[in-house]
Structure 1
Amino acid sequence: MKLFLLGAALLVASAGAQAVTGAQTVPRLPQAEAETRARTVLEGMTLDEKIGQVSMAHFFRFLEGGKSGPIAADAGDVFARLLPGATLNGGGDAPQPNTPRGWADALRGLETLGRQNLPGGVPAVFGTDAVHGVNNVPGAILYPHNLGLGAAFNPALTQELARATAADMRAMNMDWDFSPVADLGRDPRWGRFYETFGESPWLVADQITASVTGLQSGGVAATLKHFVAYGSPGLGRDRANAEISLRALHELYLPPFKAGIRAGAMSVMANSGSVNGVPVHASQNILTDLLRSELGFKGLVVSDWNDIDRLVNTFKTHADLVRATAASVNAGIDLYMVPNDVEKYEAALKEAVEGGLVSQERLDEAALRMLTFKAQLGLMDARPSGSGVITNGRALAKRAAAATLTLLENDGALPIKTGRVLVTGPAMDSAAIQLGGWSVNWQGVGKGNVSYMPKVSTLATALKASAPAGVTVSALPDSKREALLKAAANADTIVVALGEAPAAESQANNPNLSLPSGQIGLLRDLLGTGKPVVLVLMAGRPILLPEDLQNRLPAFVMAYLPGSEGGAALADALYGRAGFPGRLPFTWPGSLGEVGLTADRPPEGAGDAPLPLYPLGFGLDYTTFRTSDGQAARTADGVKISVTVTNTGEKAGTATFIVNASLPPAGNLEAVSRPVGVVRAELKKGEARTLSLDIPAERLEAFTGDAFRTVRGEVLPGQYTFKTGDELVRLSLP
């Protein structure tokens, strides 16, 4: 029997460990030793070399033809002129050939040129957004996006996926991943909602620990992003201002970042937006006082894309790039992710230093952090070259996708056992919809200059290929509406796959939480046939369906953005060969007016609260579970909860229960129910297991203080109530 206990106790790799990736062993120096070596290099650097060290140049600056091509003949001269400490690929630009081997050779070539042309022979570090596998590389297997992994409530799986991603990155000589997203998904209108692990701080924190541990044990530097409160922008619009209180900051937004820092994350990326009217890229309070002094982060702080320029051109908080540069560097930005005009930024920083706006000491500090970062990754030494061979991760991708699938409605339409099945809908065979944004190109498949079409297991193909005896499957595109409705009249079950078009960041904002009108019309027509309709939704957020349709769905499956093997995983679940282990990692609102409703919302002054369409943790399966015999006991570090979970249904399944805590009165608003952890286990028919969870004391802290005063976190004396399923247990803490 496999038992999963989710809490704070995830293994964290030590800073000085050897990271093993396939046949390679990548040295990882402890920070103190790495810093000593970095100081030796720094002492011999000129002002221009230090400025270059804290600048990042885009990968395409070193390629023939700009966006995609072989390494340019003058790439060494570009290094010698720009002296960049880092390079990056933002998605859509690529070497030639654009293959894993091509990537390995190109990056090895750039590393060699860097050693020849950069101070101390220390090459530039290459960073990329490998956010669900090595998603910019044609041929790579792509895993579910984070929101789906949040639905799996299985940090061990998240860690396994991160480790597999790191192995593929190292095989292509990539050292630095701009992942994981430690932001909370609190507003589903936001375009980056699907990049989060969900809404609940401590449940997300467990996933962040797992992701950081998996990446860095695989020899790749992780990046916590985006510090801090990026996930609660005004009006749900990307990069907008977030108005948050000190109480919300400490109770909601910091726990995932705390977890990542404790797990040893080597870098942090700054929030592209603003908090309380101050752009984070210019906030010393956030990037230095909070991140470094309060949270103890000692690694590298990198800007987000072009965000120092944004202070001048978008936020209009600074008169020119020199002043914006000085403000950002003084606030705590060590490395500027600048994609295009490196020369302009380096000139602005030099003017700021020479004019006294940025001290030589601050520049040295930033350059030292950059060099230390690279020393920790082994870049100061000769290293084995990546094999250029990435793993065949299809089995892992299918297992991951299967763990995410969440059944929201079922009146008996599932599982499909016999009869004629008709499959339709724009998502039934669309790699673009199934993979979402950050897939081959930044905005998704087919939206950039790389035209590669990934090989994915789609729903229609998988349903046909794996249909059990007694089931026949046909598929028709929704564009052939007359033929489709005629076929629907003769079907026994209709499976309709709907979904959002791929997009990323602001382009993925969905202010109405809606699908295109054509998809809604298709669903209405199919329901109008009177035949059982199974809706499969591939989307990066909860979608609001018209009430007359929502109330008529015989079966409703939330598939999130399931990755390369989503179709195969869905077919197994729809046919009953597998169950639906996923549970919602967010609160699904019933209307736009309920956006912002979360499981940890405190009581309103009127004494009531709206009920969501589906609450956090909701999900059905082909079996049922019962909780009993709940117990709570004090431990040296917090509270231990145990509960007996019994599979009361007719099939094996995965029991997942969020453990919620209710705190004693604190003088301030507190959540009626605060999620503090999860118990999860795979149980056979009729099997009962006693599951336990250790809840660290910090997860029970109340942050008390008056409206505009500093808050203080403490575990208050009084009675605490813990709820797991239907079990309530109470415990008094002194």
Structure 2
Amino acid sequence: MIRRLYILTIMQLVCMQGFSRASSPQFAYKDSNLSIDIRVTDLLSRMTLEEKVGQLLCPLGWDMYEIRGNEVFPSDKFKQLIKNKKAGMLWATYRADPWTKKTLANGLNPELAAKAGNALQKYVIENTRLGIPMFLAEEAPHGHMAIGATVFPTGIGMAATWSPDLIKEVGQVIAEEVRSQGGHISYGPVLDLSRDPRWSRVEETFGEDPILSGTLGVAMVEGLTKGDISQKNSTIATLKHFLAYAVPEGGQNGNQALVGVRELHESFLPPFKKAIDAGALSVMTSYNSIDGIPCTANSYLLSQLLRNEWKFRGFVVSDLYSIEGIHESHRTASSVSEAATQAISAGVDIDLGGDAYVNVCQAVREGRLSESVVDTAVYRVLRLKFEMGLFENPYVDPELATKKVRSKENIELARRVAQASVTLLENKHSILPLRKDINRVAVIGPNADNRYNMLGDYTAPQESDNVRTVLDGITSKLHSSRVEYVRGCAIRDTIVDEIKQAVEAVSRSEVVIVVVGGSSARDFKTTYKETGAAMTTKGSIISDMECGEGFDRATLSLLGRQQELLKALKKTGKPLIVVYIEGRPLEKNWASEYADALLTAYYPGQEGGNAIADVLFGDYNPSGRLPISVPRSVGQIPVYYNKKLPQCHNYVEMSAAPLYPFGYGLSYTTFEYSDLQITQNASYCFEISFKVKNTGKYDGEEVAQLYIRDEYASIVQPMKQLKRFERFYLEKGEEKQITFVLTEDDLSIVNQNMRRVVETGTFKIMIGASSDDIRLTECICME
């Protein structure tokens, strides 16, 4: 298709140049009055092979600038990169973290970031033969990973809101903050379906369900792209990771995924398809293999499916050094050069890292690769540069960046999203919300006052007053004289032992709020792989980090002395409120039984402490719902709600059911469901309506969920499958009618011939407050 378009536009270009040569000395690709196809074709025709391959390189960007006072300049390393490799893209130029060794002292604040982007663009435009502007790609899964940017809850926390509206707002803010600093491509959202909480990157995902993930993915993409990347403050959204990356064998990051082709089409592919249809123009490959084929060399996924069937018109980027991984990890290529040829032939357009595709020129010259393959990849990249308007507007206003990044409105949004994500799991005897006239509160735990443990992975260094901890939030509700804090213990390090002091503090208090869990906070003592994944090396000082890329778990229990701390606090007899800050669903069996109240706040971001305090003291009625099941034991894994029939039977030692199911979450009020009505409007269209009434004492938000089950089908089906959901607010005593519409796609299955069809038969419609709390049921028949 691109080859035919190339020939046609060349012919148009020849005719046009013959007509206008006398009146315009300007190259056609620089003429904004011409169509993008003509401009791309003209530019491509002028490029050498080396210049073409340069457009496909995306090297690491944080060493490409130098700060001198209040100005930023291209570094000598950048100048050599442009001279030798002619790179057309950079990754993580503004990134700051212990891996990059960029700190608050030597990194880029928003103003300097904008100046850096301008300086790099100016150098490339003025010091290269064709003056092609650069793409700057930035990590942005839960906020731009740059100093000064707004930090939202990580993906699993955002998913707990079950609110597409909120997630779209988050996308809009991320895009504005990235673009105002000179970036163009946002890496995110992460649409991997998480079915194994041992895996280190659960925190980045939207959970275990394809409908929830796809719906929130669409919302994020709509926010990031504004529906059109030519719009001001829009970014190119990069979907991660293609494909089935979150279900590695043994829970180990990058291991093979044992997933059948039908399951890929039923569950893992739909979220990506929805997000692409919503405007995502970039897809990132994953480190794993499927059925013996590395995903970065899988021509079926990257060419046949994406391009031919889905008509995806954006570009595919490798995960960092995943092309080298074809040779070094998977060993299906005998050299990096062969791996590069496999990747670009399979449909990978961009080499993230930029060290593999430098071999492409030689492969073309030796006849191992057709130059037309390179042309196709370059065409995709150049087209988006023109669509984004970079040839006309490559620069940004540094003063504007300081105003837009982490604005008051953005911080308020971070708080609203964190509030909506907090999930109440237990509230025995309605101990919550707490009275604000309470005499004294003990705030205990390793996550009670640790700023970085609130934030999750892919977060830049923070000034201390940017982040609100749980202790900060509670002291904003109560005078500090009524709050006593003791750390108690560390997340992992057993040397830290302040349990005795914690018990003493509790003895002087009416209630204890203990904040435990995990951490993805990187530090300068952690060792990192070249891909940026952390390594679990042993040392004299044990960091808190037990989650985040590279930190896979063999168990899900609390580490260090945290369980010892909980048991000691329980023995005091004081009411015990337990809050988990976590990147994966940790085991909560003890807390479920013995805590008077139990909440999870995931990694709630910079406003998390305020949001948690809002919930604890009743300024916000909790409304988060689990986007992933909480297991009782690692022996149950996988324990996701929509497993295929037959229904699981119990183990000898315990129930087969999760401790807390998908979609679960309590409120301070109660909701009653009634009056289910189903109307068939067309052959495959059903309107389903019902009423929900707030029957409790508080105003609050409910998340109504619609599940279906195909009772008898030619292919084994899930026990139940989410199809629709809606989050809505009801004042106490208020009633609302909710209406969902089911379509042909909702009732279809992937049959034995791998085609989506609707079969005749009976479907059970289930309406409820969670996957395990069904309030209304009725059957429909397809004839």
* TM-score (ref. length: structure 1): 0.89
Q: Which amino acid aligns with 1:304?
A: D
Structure 1 counterpart of 2:581: 538
- Which of the numbers 527, 532, 544 marks the counterpart of 2:570? 527
Shift of the alpha carbon at 1:623?
A: 0.3
- Listed as ranges, the matches of 1:591-670 within 5 Å are 591-604=633-646, 610-636=656-682, 638-670=685-717
Aligned-partner Cα distance in 2 for 1:669–1:560: 34
Name the residue aligned to 1:15.
Answer: none
CA positional deviation for 1:208: 0.7
Counterpart of 1:109 in structure 2 is 119
Ranges in structure 1 where 5+ consecutive residues have no aligned partner:
1-28, 446-450
Equivalent position SS for 1:148: helix
- Equivalent of residue 552 in structure 2, options 474, 487, 509: 509
Residues 197, 700 of structure 1: CA spacing in aligned structure 2 closer, same or farther, 3 A cutoff? same
Residue 423 of structure 1 pairs with residue 434 of structure 2: no
Distance in 2, matches of 1:130 and 1:352, equals 34
Give the counterpart letter for 2:563 in structure 1: I
- Correspondence for 1:728: 777
Change (3 A) 1:544 1:607: closer
Match of 2:24 in 1: none
Q: 1:175 and 1:607, CA in 2 relative to 1: closer, same or farther beyond 3 A?
A: same
Retained in 2: the 8 A contact 1:632–1:640? yes
Higher deviation after alignment, 389-398 or 323-332: 389-398
The structure-2 alpha-carbon separation of the partners of 1:81 and 1:593, relative to structure 1 and needing over 3 Å to count, comes to same
Show the counterpart of 2:376: 365
Within 5 Å, give how 1:388-403 maps onto structure 2.
388-389=401-402, 390=405, 391-392=407-408, 393-403=410-420
1:86 aligns with 2:89: yes
Q: Distance in 1 between matches of 2:657 and 2:502?
A: 37
Q: Which of these residues, 289, 296, 301, is aligned with residue 281 of structure 1?
A: 296
Cα deviation 1:50-90 (Å, max 9, x = unaligned): 1111111221342349xx98532564443132211210116
Asked if the contact 1:79–1:113 (Cα under 8 Å) also holds between the matched residues in 2, the reply is no
* 8 Å CA contact 1:150, 1:204 repeated in 2: yes
Could you tell me which residue of structure 2 aligns to residue 681 of structure 1? 728
Deviation for aligned residue 1:140? 2.1
Cα separation, partners in 2 of 1:99 and 1:548, compared to 1, 3 Å: closer
2:307 aligns with 292
Q: CA deviation at 1:554?
A: 0.9
Using the alignment, how far apart are the partners of 2:62 and 2:505 within structure 1?
Answer: 50
Q: Does 1:311 align with 2:329?
A: no
Whether the 8 Å contact between 1:659 and 1:677 is mirrored in structure 2 is yes
> Per-residue displacement from partner, 1:659-698 (whole Å, max 9, x unpaired)?
1011131122111211111022100001100011223321
Partner of 1:448: none
SS in 2 for 1:698: helix
Confirm whether residue 240 of structure 1 aligns to residue 255 of structure 2. yes
Q: Among 472, 483, 486, which residue is 1:461 paired with?
A: 472
Pair 1:622–1:60, CA change in 2 (3 A): closer
Deviations 1:406-458 (A, max 9, x none): 00011132111123210010111111110011111xxxx5xxxxx85562111
**How far off its partner does 1:171 sit?**
1.1
Deviates more, 1:69-78 or 1:270-279: 69-78
State the alpha-carbon separation in 2 of the partners of residues 248 and 420 from structure 1.
Answer: 53
Counterpart of 1:54 in structure 2: which amino acid?
A: L
Q: Distance in 1 between matches of 2:620 and 2:330?
A: 50
1:514-569 residue CA offsets vs partner (Å, 9 max, x unmatched) = 32131111111111212111111010111114x44431111101101100101111
Give 1:510 shift.
2.1
With over 3 angstroms needed to count, the CA separation of the structure-2 counterparts of 1:77 and 1:683, relative to structure 1, is same
Aligned counterpart, 1:587 = 629
Would the alpha carbon gap of residues 33 and 61 (structure 1) be closer, same or farther in structure 2, given more than 3 Å must change?
farther
In the alignment, the residues of structure 2 paired with residue 114 and residue 733 of structure 1 have an alpha-carbon distance, to the nearest angstrom, of 61
- 1:226 shift after superposition: 0.9
**CA distance in 1: counterparts of 2:551 and 2:129, whole angstroms:** 41
- Please give the secondary structure, in 2, of the residue aligned with 1:197: coil
- Report the counterpart of residue 26 of structure 1 in structure 2: none
Conservation of the 8 A alpha-carbon contact between 1:270 and 1:302: yes
RMSD over equivalenced CA pairs, Å:
2.4
Q: Distance in 2 between matches of 1:98 and 1:420?
A: 42
- SS of the aligned residue for 1:720 comes to strand
**DSSP 3-state at the match of 1:180:** strand
In 2 relative to 1, CA 563–99 (structure 1 residues): closer, same or farther, beyond 3 Å? same
Distance 2:509 2:140 in 1: 42
- Cα gap change, 1:482/1:473 in structure 2, threshold over 3 Å: closer, same or farther? same
Structure 2 residues without counterparts, runs of 5 or longer: 1-30, 227-232, 489-496, 522-532, 534-547, 769-774
**Counterpart for residue 348 of structure 1:** 359
Post-superposition Cα deviations, 1:173-229, rounded to whole Å, max 9, x if no partner, equal 111101111111211111111111111101111101101110001411101111111
| 2:514 matches 1:496 | yes
Q: 1:605 to 1:453 in 2, by over 3 A?
A: closer
- Residue 472 in structure 1 maps to residue 502 in structure 2: no
- Give the superposition deviation at 1:713: 1.6
Matches of 1:42 and 1:453, distance apart in 2: 49
**1:675 match: secondary structure:** strand
Correspondence for 2:421: 404
The whole-number CA distance in structure 2 between the counterparts of 1:345 and 1:41 is 24
- Give the Cα separation in 2 of the matches to 1:204 and 1:97: 34
What is the letter of the counterpart of residue 130 of structure 2? G
Q: Letter of the aligned partner of 2:598 in structure 1?
A: F
CA distance in 2, matches of 1:680, 1:452: 34
Please state if 1:175 is matched with 2:166: no
Q: Measure how far apart 1:346 and its partner are.
A: 4.4
CA shift, 1:384, in A, is 5.3
CA distance in 1, matches of 2:394, 2:323: 34
Shift of 1:472: 2.5
**1:605/1:144 Cα in 2 relative to 1: closer, same or farther (>3 Å)?**
closer
Q: TM-score, normalising length from structure 2?
A: 0.84
What is the SS of the residue equivalent to 2:190? Answer: coil
- Residue identity opposite 2:125 in structure 1: R
Residue pair 1:138, 1:454 contacting (<8 A) in 2 also:
no
Kept after mapping to 1: 8 A contact 2:203/2:456: no
Q: 1:76 to 1:549 in 2, by over 3 A?
A: closer
User: In the alignment, which of 159, 162, 170 is matched to residue 171 of structure 2?
Assistant: 162
Partner of 1:230: 245
The answer to whether the 8 A contact 1:639-1:697 is kept is no
Instruction: Go from structure 1 to structure 2 and tell me whether the alpha carbon gap of 1:620 and 1:605 turns closer, same or farther (over 3 Å shift).
Output: closer
Partner of 1:597, secondary structure, is coil
Matches within 5 A, 1:85-234: 85-89=88-92, 91-92=96-97, 93=100, 98-134=108-144, 136-217=145-226, 218-234=233-249
2:616 counterpart of 1:574:
yes
The one-letter code of the counterpart of 1:270 is T
Question: In 2, Cα distance between the equivalents of 1:619 and 1:676?
Answer: 19
Q: Aligned-pair distance for 1:347?
A: 3.9
Supply the distance in 2 between the matched residues of 1:211 and 1:399 (Cα, whole angstroms): 16
Q: Which moved more, 1:149-158 or 1:138-147?
A: 138-147
Q: How far apart, CA to CA, are the structure 2 residues paired with 1:124 and 1:161?
A: 26
Q: Is the alpha carbon distance of 1:91 and 1:695 closer, same or farther for their aligned partners in structure 2, counting shifts above 3 Å?
A: farther
Q: Is 1:587–1:615's contact at 8 Å kept on the other side of the alignment?
A: yes
